[in-house]
Structure formats: structure tokens, C-alpha cells
Amino acid sequence: MKKIFYLLILIHSLIYAQNITIDSINHQIKELDSLINKNVWNIHYENFNKYQEINNELIILDSLLKKDNLKSEQKEEIKKKILSLKEQLNLLKDYKDFNFAKILLVPQNIEILPKLTNPLAIINAFSHIKKLKNEKEEYIFKFNNFKNLINTIKEKNTDLKELVKINNSKENINELEKSNKKLEEFEQALQFVSVSFLVYEKKIDEEIFRVQSEIKEQSLKALNLVIAIVIVIIISFLLKMIVKKYIKDNERYYTATKIINVVNVNIILFILLFVYIENISYLITILGFASAGLAIAMKDMFMSMLGWCVIIFGGSFRVGDRIKVKYNNEIYVGDIIDISLLKITLYEDITLVTYTDNRRAGRIIFIPNNYVFTELISNYTHHGMKTVFDGIDITLSFDSNLEKAQKIVEEIVTRYSKPYTNLAKKTLIKLQNEYSIKNPQAGPKFFTFFENYGMRISAWYMTNSYAALTLRSTLCKEIIKEFNKHQDIKFAYPTQNIYFPIKEDILKHSKENF
């Protein structure tokens, strides 16, 4: 009896232990099922299978509905079921032709960045590399997620196999077969995805390497460009220092620095052109066609540029020169304050022209450089000249002592213009080395002419090119002050005699009263 009792206890213990093992395995399977069901790839797969099941069921119901031996109630029930299944099928229509191995896991073709041609594209290149790395990381995350799903299914299948060994139930066997089928399909997809991942990773790495190489190339090119530009700027700076040291004249120094600046800018532009233009012959061809149209459309601008070359290299005008320009019957006299590539900038001073005609001064006048070809421009201070001939006219009556008046005018004009006469003589001697000037005369000149209402004394003298009105004003005051001391010198001015006819009775009446 004791042996039987112990045997029963042993059997009971084994059954209890087995039940505990089964419960433990079932609990573990539930946890694995929870992880599997949450996985996005499993959800897609189950939806695809669900779509196929519903579609197959609809085919069966459609075939049943065509049978003639069905009652009307059965047909209505089948129609309702078909309608419900079609609604479910419509919700799952995105999974009709679903293949997660080719559609979800295999990435699309990577974006190819165009070849870098300038340093500004480096910023976009870094952004492109960052984007590719992010896409690669995202793909790796998806790939690892899919591998984890397969490992979880394998773990579940191991538990199911153990459960089948313990409890060979039909339910567990069916579930194991279904899970094995899923695992087989997933493993086939994993093989395909693994190959595609290697190809994708290689493409990504090649594109990143190519872009990084082009970044290095453009960075090196930009560095060389900066070094070249810095060298050009340093050379221009040294040239300016040399010019400042050896050219003491401010006007010539300004012109020299202007030329250095223009040459410096052009050299930098040519450096940029030859560094970043791949096909120079292609560029020259384009510029050839473009320049033909631009030459017509922008004729005045090109003529102004050519005029600038004539002005700068011809030496006709310099900054600081006093010039006179005539345009549309208007005359402008002033000093050049700037000569740019397209225009001459003139500061209008108070001169005889502003006194007699314009009645305006102090304006900034912009003169296109092409005027040197089309308009007459007078230069009062060409090649260092500081003087210019000016003249005043004095009209005296016919009965005035003309000889005395002319002596007075000659003495005053000669005395006040003597410093400018000496300066003009020195300048004219220098100009003889460059121009054919025969018998240069800088002394005052006096002329006498008949006028309708008197004799005119015309006095011409050298004066400061920048302050002609000052000496003219002084001479006028001194001459009239001296003339007022002599009664036999009278100014002439336009006069008119008026004769009134007088009747005899008025004349007689006037005589009687007297």
C-alpha cells in the first residue's frame, strides 16, 4: 500500500511540475506575442494576410451566391456578409500588392548632389552629407528592427516546440506551423534585405566620399584664391606706398592710385574668372555673341569706358583741373573732383559764367566720359598751368583823354597781374618741351576799339585760373577810383536824344510871360 501511495504522490508531483512548466511557457509566449504584434513589420504582414483571407472569402461567397438552390433568406445573408467584407477589404486596400521586402525595407535611390563648382556650394554639400547619414541611420534602425522581429519569432517557435513536446495539442501544432511559415517568409525577406542593405550602404559611402573629396578640392581652390587675392592686394598696397613716396603732387598721386585700384580690381576679376570657369573657350564664345548685342544696347556706356581710358592714359584731364563744358547751350565751369569709369564729377565754382549766365554755383555736375569725343571741353589748368588770360572792357566817351585813361589802365593792370604773369611765363617754358608754342607771351595786352557810343579800352592780363573774379573785382575798383580823379575822363554809356515839336502860339505865350 505504501508503494502505491508513493507512486501516486510522484505522479501528482510530475503532473504539477508539468502544469507549472506549461504555464511558464504560455506566459513567455504571450509576452513574445505582445512584442511581435507591436512590431510595424508584423502589422503590415498580418494586414496583408488579412486582405488575402478576406479576398478569398469573397470569392467563395460570390460563387455560393450564384447557386440556384439557395433560399432568399440565405442569399440576403450572403449579400450582407459580402458587403461587410468589401468594406473591410476597402480599409486594407493599401496592402493588396504588399511586399515588405521590396517596398518597405529596400530604400529608394539615393540623392546625387551635382558637382561642386564654387566654395558657396560647400554649405549645401555638408547639408547633403548630413542628410545621407541620417537616411542611413534610419535605414539601419529599420533593418535592425526587422532582425529583432525575426529573432523574437524564432524564440517564440522554440517555446512552441517545447510546448508541443509537453502537450501535443492540435492548437499548439497549428500555431507552430503558422509561426514557422511566417518565420520562413521573414527569413527569405531578410536575405533579400541584407543584400540590398550592402548595396545601399556602398552607394551611400561612395556618394559621401565623392562629396567630401569635392569639398576638399573646393576648399583648397578657395584657399589658393584667397592667397592670390591677398598677394594682389599686398602688391597694390606696396605700389601705393611707392607712389606716395616718389610722387609729391596730390593730383598725380590721386590719378596713380586710381589706376592701381582699377588694375587691382581687374586682376582679381580675371583670377576669379580663370579659377571657376571650366571651359574658357566656351565662355569666350558666349561673351563674343553677348558683347555684340551689348555694344549696341550699351553704346554710351562702352564709349564712356573708352573715354575713361583716353582721359587717364592720354593726360588731357586730371583730378583738380578746372574745366569748362558746354552742353545744350549751357556752360558749366568747375573743378574735377573725381574721374570714375563712366563719368567725370565736377564741382561748379563761382566764375564769370555763373555771374553772367547761370546765376548758380556750388552744384555737382556729372559729365559722361564719352563727352571727350563729342563735346568741346576746355581745360584751364592743363599740365600744371595755374593761370589764364582774362579781360575787362572800359568804354569812354569820345571827348575823353584816351591816352591818359589807357596809361592808367595799363599801370593798374600791370601792377596787379605781375605775379601771375611771372608764373605764366615759367609754365609756358615748360609746355614748350611738349607742345609747339612759338613766342609764348604772358604779359598784359591792351587794345582800343571804336564803339557806337564811345571808345573801348580792352585790357587782357594773366590771372589765377581758380580765382579770376577776385582779380577782376580788384581791377575794376582801382580803375574807377583812379578815373574819378580826372575830369577829362568820362565813361560812355548808351544815350538817346528826344526832340519834341513846339507850336508857335505856345512859344509866343512863353516869350510874353518872360
Give the pLDDT band (50/70/90) at residue 1.
low
pLDDT of residue 209 exceeding 60: yes
Q: How confident is the model at residue 20, as a pLDDT?
A: 58
In the chain, the percentage of residues whose pLDDT exceeds 70 is 82
pLDDT of residue 247 exceeding 80: no
CA distance to 8, 16, 217, per residue, from 3 (Å)? 9, 20, 92
- Got the DSSP string for 148-210? HHHHHHHHHHHHHHHHHHH---HHHHHHHHHHHHHHHHHHHHHHHHHHHHHHHHHHHHHHHHH
What is the spatial distance between Cα 289 and Cα 303, in angstroms, rounded to a whole number?
A: 19
CA distance to 22, 152, 173, per residue, from 160 (Å)? 10, 12, 8
Q: How confident is the model at residue 458, as a pLDDT?
A: 92
Give the pLDDT band (50/70/90) at residue 7.
low
Task: Give me the helix-helix angle, 72-91 and 40-65, nearest 10°.
Answer: 150
pLDDT of residue 311 exceeding 60: yes
pLDDT of residue 504 exceeding 70: no
Counting DSSP H helices and E strands in the chain, the numbers are 13, 8
Q: How confident is the model at residue 501, as a pLDDT?
A: 60
In the chain, the percentage of residues whose pLDDT exceeds 90 is 5
Q: How confident is the model at residue 497, as a pLDDT?
A: 65
pLDDT of residue 411 exceeding 90: yes
Residue type, 341: L
Q: How confident is the model at residue 514, as a pLDDT?
A: 46
Mean pLDDT value across residues 280-288: 58
| Residue 57: partners with Cβ closer than 8 Å, 6 or more residues away | 85
pLDDT of residue 120 exceeding 50: yes
What is the spatial distance between Cα 195 and Cα 191, in angstroms, rounded to a whole number?
A: 7
Q: How confident is the model at residue 460, as a pLDDT?
A: 92
Give the pLDDT band (50/70/90) at residue 18.
low
Q: How confident is the model at residue 268, as a pLDDT?
A: 82
Residue type, 186: F
What is the spatial distance between Cα 95 and Cα 31, in angstroms, rounded to a whole number?
A: 27
Mean pLDDT value across residues 300-308: 77
Give the pLDDT band (50/70/90) at residue 107.
low
Whose CA is closest to 319, among 246, 249, 389?
249
Give the pLDDT band (50/70/90) at residue 16.
very low
Buried b vs exposed e over 145-174: b needs ≥16 C-beta within 10 Å? ebeebbebbbbbbebbebbeeeeeeeebee
pLDDT of residue 241 exceeding 60: yes
Residue type, 157: N
Q: Mind listing the pLDDT tens digit for each residue in 76-85?
A: 787 778 788 7
Q: Mind listing the pLDDT tens digit for each residue in 381-397?
A: 887 788 888 899 999 98
DSSP assignment letter at 354: I
What is the spatial distance between Cα 373 and Cα 266, in angstroms, rounded to a whole number?
A: 25
- 440 and 432 in contact (C-beta within 8 Å)? yes
- Got the DSSP string for 43-97? HHHHHHHHHHHHHHHHHHHHHHHT-SS--HHHHHHHHHHHHHHHHHHHHTGGGTT
Mean pLDDT value across residues 369-380: 83
What is the spatial distance between Cα 251 and Cα 262, in angstroms, rounded to a whole number?
A: 17
Longest dimension (CA), the chain: 201
**466: which 3 cell numbers?**
581758380
Residue with cell 589765377: 464
Least confident range from 91-100, 315-324, 470-479, 483-492: namely 91-100
What is the spatial distance between Cα 482 and Cα 412, in angstroms, rounded to a whole number?
A: 9
- 130 and 184 in contact (C-beta within 8 Å)? no
Looking at every residue in the chain, the average pLDDT score rounds to: 78
SS3 annotation, 228-256: HHHHHHHHHHHHHHHHHHHCCCHHHHHHH
Task: Give me the helix-helix angle, 402-431 and 468-483, nearest 10°.
Answer: 160
How many CB atoms neighbour CB 217 within 10 A?
12
Mean pLDDT value across residues 335-342: 84
Q: How confident is the model at residue 11, as a pLDDT?
A: 57
Least confident range from 145-149, 335-339, 492-496: namely 492-496
* Better-predicted residue by pLDDT, 326 or 16: 326
**497: which 3 cell numbers?**
536824344
Give the pLDDT band (50/70/90) at residue 15.
low
Mean pLDDT value across residues 188-210: 81
* Better-predicted residue by pLDDT, 251 or 403: 403
Q: Mind listing the pLDDT tens digit for each residue in 444-492?
A: 999 999 888 889 999 999 998 888 888 999 999 999 999 888 888 888 8
